[in-house]
Each structure stands twice: as C-alpha cells, then as structure tokens.
Amino acid sequence: MDFSTTVISKMQAKTVQIYGIESPAVAAIRWSVQDALNMENVREGSWDAVIDKSTSDCIACMDADGKLLERLSKQVHRVYSSMRNEDIGVKGNNGQALWDIKRVEIETESLTETVDGSGVVAAAPTIYHYVYICTKR
C-alpha cells in the first residue's frame, strides 16, 4: 500500500523483476493505492504484515499534537490481523495501549578515513539503525 500510484507501479515491476512473474511471492502480494490515515475500505484484520518504511516519520514531521500518528496507529491496528514488549502510548477508546513494541538496535560499522592525505584519521561516530517491531494487543 502506498499513497502514490507511481510507487505502486514501480514496486510491482521490481517485484516481478526480482522474483519472476510465476513466483508465488508475486501472486501473494496485494498492492493498493491508499491513504494510510483513512483505510475504511480495507477490511478489519485483513493484513498479515505491516511494514512502515517512512510513513510514520513523514506524518510525525507535520503532526504537532500527535493526533495524526494516533489516527495512523488506530488504522493500522484495525486492519492488521494479529500482532504482542514496550508501550507506544497510543491508546484505544477504552484507554488501553493498542501495541506492544520491541526496539531492535542495529549498529553499523564505524567509518574512518584519512583527511586530505595529511595522515590525520577522522572517525565518524557509530551509527545505529532502529527497527521497531509492533505487535497488536
């Protein structure tokens, strides 16, 4: 699912290119153009997996009071079939948390390089990538 028809078309083509048109992986993926903040036409519990590459980051940048992120979380929670570690703080109507979250920290290699051939070595700080695994309560 993506908001952009262009992105959906490119990802469909890339999936076929990687796996081949006859692949069960290609047949199993359901593609749709959708607004993640309004997925009322998606049946409740109909998704087996949710991968958010950058949607919540983009929404957070324009969401001063947190209401859009809460809406996103509730929409994903509704359509995700079964998700159970730290609390995201997004609450449902009954005041209970909707998600358990486990944060996985992936450390990348620190980079070092010689600056301008001077023999001085500059080291970049260690860089971490974080993956959040959300499970539905």
pTM exceeding 0.95:
no
Token pair of 129 as six digits: 């990538």
pLDDT in tens, the chain (137 residues): 888 999 999 989 998 998 888 888 788 888 889 998 999 888 888 887 777 777 888 888 888 888 888 888 888 888 876 543 333 444 444 545 666 777 777 777 666 665 566 666 666 667 777 677 777 67
- Taking the C-alpha atoms of residue 95 and residue 118, their distance in angstroms, rounded to an integer, is 60
Query: Residue 26 corresponds to which amino acid?
Result: V
